[in-house]
Amino acid sequence: MPKHDWLPEVPLGAGMVEFATYLNRASEFIDGDAIGHIRAGTKALRDATPRDIPPVHSVEEQSFEGLRYRVIRPNNAAERPAAVYLHGGGWSHLDIDVYDPIVRRIALESGRAVAAIDFPLVPEVQFPVNLEMCVKFVRRIAESHSANGSISLLGDSAGANLSLAVALVLRDGGDALVNSLGLIYGAFDLENEPDSYIRHGNGSTPLTLEDIRKSRSLYIPDAARRSHPLVSPIRADLRDLPPVFLALASHDPLYDENIAMASKLGQSGCNVTLKVYAGTIHGFLEAESVNGSEIASRAMRDLGQWVALHSC
């Protein structure tokens, strides 16, 4: 069974209530239901909000097959990336600018360089195009840039889904390029709606059941294909994966499928560590830059230590 920091049910922390209010303000900036409106509105929310962007040694902007990516170096010794971060946003929105404070913090906490890419979004592309591009990018970073020929692969929400799928593709291809996985409140089961979808997706937190259904339909319009193991990795053969760190938000609609994923990883012989961050909501890592959330800082410190442990 996975190592697990079991925590009792607790109310949302004060900082999370404030953060949820911030996320809900996105509706003020979104003028329509089209994905372009959602992208513009979520960007406008961040542009209108003072965020704490931690200083780092260097930020290098590069391009990979026409896609923008960024390498964050926390110090002058961190020359080559030790990790790749795949951002969340329902496979359809958000980008490395929104995630810049998070990636910087993980780089600082790990003492290692971290690369993040603006992978192709739906609906402009359809699965598996975005996954295939992430596989190519991870292979490029691991083989050409990393110090030891392998990397930590990190991602949250949709990015955690893609990170695990990338690791499965590379494993099946015999490529030992991923030395560890850091998966943060991931979307691992696109077929089912467990109890936590009702507990926490009823409007009590910003991520609702309706939001989840929209994201699924954009990512995989054909519901019959959502059982594919690279779409719903809870269905995959999880043997022979590298060590996994699973970070969960206690008040997340995706909570139950993350617990199920941790259990299946453990049953598959994977070295898995599960941490539940009490009183938090989906997307809470961003709260550090918005309101100085201590628990978000702690989670990124844990992720940074995970990267440092596996990139010695």
Q: Which amino acid is at 122?
A: V
Contact 82, 108 (CB under 8 A): no
Contact 91, 218 (CB under 8 A): yes
Among 196, 252, 256, 310, the active-site one is 252
Among 87, 93, 200, 282, the active-site one is 282
Task: Name the residue range of residue 221's domain.
Answer: 3-309
Please provide the average confidence, as pLDDT, over all residues in the chain. Answer: 95
Segment 274-300 mean pLDDT:
98
**CATH number for position 165:** 3.40.50.1820
Residue 189 has pLDDT above 80, yes or no: yes
pLDDT at 312: 66
Among 157, 196, 232, 293, the active-site one is 157
Contact 147, 311 (CB under 8 A): yes
* Total tally of structural domains belonging to the chain: 1
Q: What is the pLDDT of residues 218-261, one digit of tens each?
A: 999 999 999 999 999 999 999 999 999 999 999 999 999 999 99
pLDDT at 9: 65
Residue 187 has pLDDT above 80, yes or no: yes
Tell me the whole-structure pTM to 2 decimals.
Answer: 0.96
Q: Is 282 a catalytic residue?
A: yes
| Among the listed residues 191, 197, 186, the one whose alpha carbon sits nearest the alpha carbon of residue 223 | 191
Q: Which amino acid is at 174?
A: G
pLDDT at 10: 78
What percent of the chain stands above pLDDT 70?
96
- CA 192, CA 197: separation in Å to the nearest integer? 10
Q: Is 157 a catalytic residue?
A: yes
Count of C-beta atoms within a 10 Å radius of residue 249: 28
Distance in angstroms between the alpha carbons of the first and the last residue of the chain: 27
